Amino acid sequence: MEIQYLKTMEANSSFWNRKSRGFSLDKIEELEQKLNNGIPFPKALREYLFLGGEFNSLGFDHEGIGQDGSEWIALKKYYEKEMRKNNLSINRPYVVLDSYDGAIFSFIYLDEGDDPRPYNFSVSESYKGPNGETIYPFPEKTFSQLINRLVDYALRGLQPW
């Protein structure tokens, strides 16, 4: 796969003596089938999965848990259940990137072009946005900007989150 958005991640695949491991293109297509009805993911997400979808040290909760892609599906199912319990929903295609305390998750919409903006979604009153929002954006305007920040932190020996 030609890397267009995540060149910094491609050039820095090892942190804390742990090397990133990516998914095969077949595995990425399998995840697209299960999480996006067979529609290709945004290019920046595909690159992320290719470079470090199985494992990387950038701090997302799901990495290394299932190592076969099942954790991506399990996290989405968990939060769909939590949203239903709280009478909340997302009515657009999305993928969960990270989870915190089972009360908030980071995600990207899958229908916002090749390098979508990351968001947080709170299923708990304790983690609402600065103005009480359930969904609120990251400071980074794109997924690749978020990944570049996490790579920069890792290169400086800082914890990503």
CA-atom Rg of the chain in angstroms: 15
The domain defined by 18-155 folds into SMI1/KNR4-like (3.40.1580)
C-alpha 43 chain-centroid distance = 13
**Per-residue pLDDT reduced to its tens digit, 112-122:** 999 999 999 99
pLDDT band at 158 (very low <50, low <70, confident <90, very high): confident
DSSP annotation string for 29-73: HHHHHHHHTTPPPPHHHHHHHHHHSSB-SS--TTTTTSSSSHHHH
Pairing of the two strands 104-109 and 118-122:
antiparallel
Q: pTM of the entire structure?
A: 0.90
When the pLDDT of each residue in the chain is averaged and rounded to a whole number, the result is 89
**Per-residue pLDDT reduced to its tens digit, 134-149:** 999 999 999 999 999 9
Higher pLDDT, 61 or 65: 61
Judged against a pLDDT cut of 60, whether residue 62 lies above it is answered with no
